[in-house]
Amino acid sequence: MKSDIHPKWYPDAKVLVEGEVVMTVGSTVPEIRLEIWSGTHPFYTGQQRLVDTEGQVDRFMRRLQKRDSMVKQIEVREEKAKPVNLSVDSMSLGTRAEKALQEAGISTVGDVLNLLRQGEDALLALPGIGQKALIDIKRFLRAEGLIE
């Protein structure tokens, strides 16, 4: 058998938990430092206690908050993408009709739809909106499924 191949044996190695010696055992190192042992573990003590190893709970909470913010961003994006929330510019009516709607305080497709529900005459009463613009507005609203 070869000599000097085995590590040094410490028959009275100290086991330290939070700087306090809790027991002595035989080991190849003189001191063993522990965070959790049977005297503090909830399974053995019967106490419920949160054991946070290297910030796992914090990391989980950060991921959860990030997910919530992403879900909110998606909801906002979907809300903006609804046809009634689109701007009047997306209707491609031409600069004269778009300018007339903006001067009348109508900025979204939903506003145009509400005005059209009052009747075609309400839209035609706006200066700069004629029959062609009315036809283009109705065509866009039908394509988006907002009117029949």
Which tens digits make up the pLDDT trace of 1-23? Answer: 688 888 999 999 999 998 889 99
- Res 53 pLDDT > 70: no
Whole-structure pTM value: 0.45
pLDDT band at 51, cuts 50/70/90? low
Question: Which alpha helices (DSSP H) does the chain contain, by range?
Answer: 42-45, 56-81, 95-103, 109-117, 120-124, 131-143
Domain ranges of the chain: 10-45, 52-81, 84-142
Beta bridge partners of 34: 17
100-106: average pLDDT: 86
pLDDT band at 26, cuts 50/70/90? very high
Q: What is the mean pLDDT of the chain?
A: 84
| pLDDT on residue 9 | 92
| pLDDT on residue 49 | 58
The CA-CA-CA angle for residues 109, 111, 115, to 5°, reads 115
109-113: average pLDDT: 84
Q: How far apart are CA 13 and CA 26, in angstroms?
A: 6
Q: Which of 36, 35, 29 is nearest to 14 (CA)?
A: 29
Q: How far apart are CA 128 and CA 125, in angstroms?
A: 9
